[in-house]
Chain A
């Protein structure tokens, strides 16, 4: 376990030290900017609506994608993976460290976005209750995306591009086209937790869930199951695949 913490801390620091981390903070903070300058910022509903459009549907998936694909992907593609895999460390520890670091850093950056949007809403409406459903929704979403993108980063050199296709085409277009496919959308799973905890939300949010029933527990269980499957897959990749070039 201590090896996983050591590796996870190292990967987390590395992810935060990248220049792109600043861009991701700005991306996550986009709803706060909109809420600050538009009339919708004067109503608590505006918080939920802009979190849906700018945060759950775009900012959060992209920040989770960029962070999670780099967690173990950077180790592989910058040739530092041998420092981990030639140590007496169980492969599941490396997998867990990569996934944990991706979740922690994405949540941290997401929380800055949620916090800034909450602060604007608090100042403009006096409502302080909007933040925590979004924080829970962030964690659920990030856990799910990290489960998909951490092993993808380890496998593919163009993981970010492939992931962007997944986010924009699958989640943005295909899953949005029908109510049934919405169930398979990762950010909608997070949003279902947000909606369940927020209570009264604009109808846009409920509509965007399709056939997905709002519920934080179910969403968390779904994301957790994905995470377990992902850890098993990443561990298998670390054990069975040649992860250095010839």
Chain B
């Protein structure tokens, strides 16, 4: 395991930000999700040693970052705040971070700037940068030492759609290359695009952890929405309602959306129902295996 969080709790006065959270992170991209105040930022800050756990522990590459900060040489952290050293240029900012990480190579700095598409603006002061450009400068400074672990708190904030897409591709690539990448974000479809696994937090607690499909499969008490496209949707909908596998149906043009209680039974029944009705099923796909639907369920329950 690259990062191990063991029974972590963190409170500030009477406010509990993270409560008894245990999870592990392996190479690849993991999305950290949760509504505002869920404790995502506190969790990430504990991981990189910015906050001390009130209880429990965090281990980074087998080491407690508080006891041995040298482990931070293999870690990169992009903080949520857009604060940077305004008087520095992007190149100076990345160079400054590189020096603190023991990287002396100017090529590494140039490569990091190039990776986030900031070469042309490298000699402009950060004070004049847009929020998205600042984010990219922060990401460049995080990449300059080729870290094993990247902890990124809302790294896509303020980035324009093109840059978002580039950064997402970058994070996916880092994950594929064996880096452990943790990304917190509010934008669910972007997390879904880049993260193989998600950790969902609600009120400081771990609400769920796993792939989106795994999480959806765990939600056995919620009917699954299956979209069935057919040339005779009305007849098919009526036939479906007669089976014990379906709780309700609704018609959407050529499609029937069935709230299915027993997915396996439903899958077996649909071909027979279609044959009996003389209907042709052209497409059948789950409607709610998106991260958004899973997340909406987790937050709402």
Interface residues of A (CB under 8 A from B): 2-3, 6-7, 10, 13-14, 17, 78-80, 82-91, 239-240, 242-244, 246
B96 and A6: CB pair below 8 A? Answer: yes
For chain B, the count of residues having a C-beta within 8 Å of the partner chain is 31
Interface residues of B (CB under 8 A from A): 12, 15, 17, 42, 45, 48-52, 66, 69-73, 75, 77, 79, 81, 83-85, 87, 96-97, 99-102, 141
| Distance between A167 CB and nearest chain B CB, rounded to angstroms | 28
A87 and B97: CB pair below 8 A? Answer: yes
**A90–B71 alpha-carbon span in the complex (Å):** 11
* Consensus secondary structure, chain A interface: helix
| Distance between B84 CB and nearest chain A CB, rounded to angstroms | 7
**A2–B103 alpha-carbon span in the complex (Å):** 12
> Given contacts A86-B50, A88-B101, A244-B51, are A80 and B85 in contact (CB under 8 A)?
yes
| Distance between B10 CB and nearest chain A CB, rounded to angstroms | 8
> Given contacts A10-B85, A80-B83, A246-B12, are A86 and B96 in contact (CB under 8 A)?
no
Closest A residue to B11 by CB, please name it: A246
B79 and A82: CB pair below 8 A? Answer: yes
> Given contacts A14-B85, A80-B85, A246-B42, are A88 and B69 in contact (CB under 8 A)?
yes
Closest A residue to B142 by CB, please name it: A86
> Given contacts A17-B87, A80-B83, A88-B70, are A242 and B75 in contact (CB under 8 A)?
no
> Given contacts A79-B79, A79-B81, A90-B69, are A84 and B51 in contact (CB under 8 A)?
no
> Given contacts A86-B72, A90-B69, A246-B42, are A2 and B87 in contact (CB under 8 A)?
no
Give 14 pairs: A residue, B residue, CB < 8 Å, sorted on A. Answer: A6-B100, A14-B87, A78-B83, A83-B141, A86-B72, A87-B69, A88-B73, A89-B100, A239-B66, A240-B52, A242-B50, A242-B51, A243-B50, A244-B51
| Distance between B6 CB and nearest chain A CB, rounded to angstroms | 19
Shortest 6 CB-CB contacts between residues of A and residues of B: A79-B83, A88-B73, A87-B100, A79-B81, A246-B12, A86-B77
A87 and B84: CB pair below 8 A? Answer: no
